[in-house]
Amino acid sequence: MERTFIMVKPDGVQRGLVGEVITRFEKRGYKLIGLKFFTIPTVLAETHYGEHCDKPFFRGLVDFITSGPVAAMVWEGKNVVAAAREMLGATDPQKALPGTIRSAYGIDIGRNVAHGSDSEAGAQREIGLFFDETELKSYSRAIDSWIYE
């Protein structure tokens, strides 16, 4: 089963959207295997967003993502990396499809509520940055046969 890294950003936490984001993944059938509520240290933020270090918005992005607590999560399920990106919607909430998290709850690109890994390799990298293996829980659920055929 695939795993992906999802994070409710400081804006989502402040606006009381942690539950909304979790509920969408839970109700679809994905399995929560890691959850951490904390304020990201600057070095971790710079590493996490390292691919954007040359962009004009990088400093503001790091300042924002470290400005308050986040809810960092690992979700597991079939094809969850791509599916989670679809559920989040486009980076810019103005361009996100109706019904997606960013369209439903966001307006500006720098306040787009939640993060999701963009590829399987990216997911593995980000999960490793935010979680120790011991913090990820494998468990079986009785409902799995009602979710997967």
Supply the Cα-derived Rg of the chain in whole angstroms. 15
d(CA 9, CA 82): 19
| Residue closer to Mg ion, measured from CB, 2 or 118 | 118
| Residue closer to ligand IDP, measured from CB, 103 or 112 | 112
| Residue closer to ligand IDP, measured from CB, 33 or 62 | 62
Q: At 13, which helix (H) or strand (E)?
A: helix 10-14
The 3 state secondary structure assigned to 84-129 is: HHHHHCCCCCCCCCCCCHHHHHCCCHHHCCEEECCCHHHHHHHHHH
Q: Please tell me the number of Cα atoms within 13 Å of 45 on its side-chain side.
A: 20
Binds 112: which of ligand IDP, Mg ion, none (CB < 5-8 Å by kind): ligand IDP
Residues that bind ligand IDP (CB under 6 A): 52, 57, 61, 91, 109-110, 112, 115, 118
| Residue closer to ligand IDP, measured from CB, 94 or 148 | 94
CB of 118 to Mg ion, least distance (A): 5
Binds 61: which of Mg ion, ligand IDP, none (CB < 5-8 Å by kind): ligand IDP
**With the CA atoms of 121, 124, 126 and 128 taken in that order, what torsion angle do they form, in degrees rounded to the nearest 10?**
-150
CB of 137 to ligand IDP, least distance (A): 26
Residues that bind Mg ion (CB under 5 A): 118
The yes-or-no answer on residue 115 being catalytic is: yes
Binds 70: which of Mg ion, ligand IDP, none (CB < 5-8 Å by kind): none
Residues marked active site are found at 115
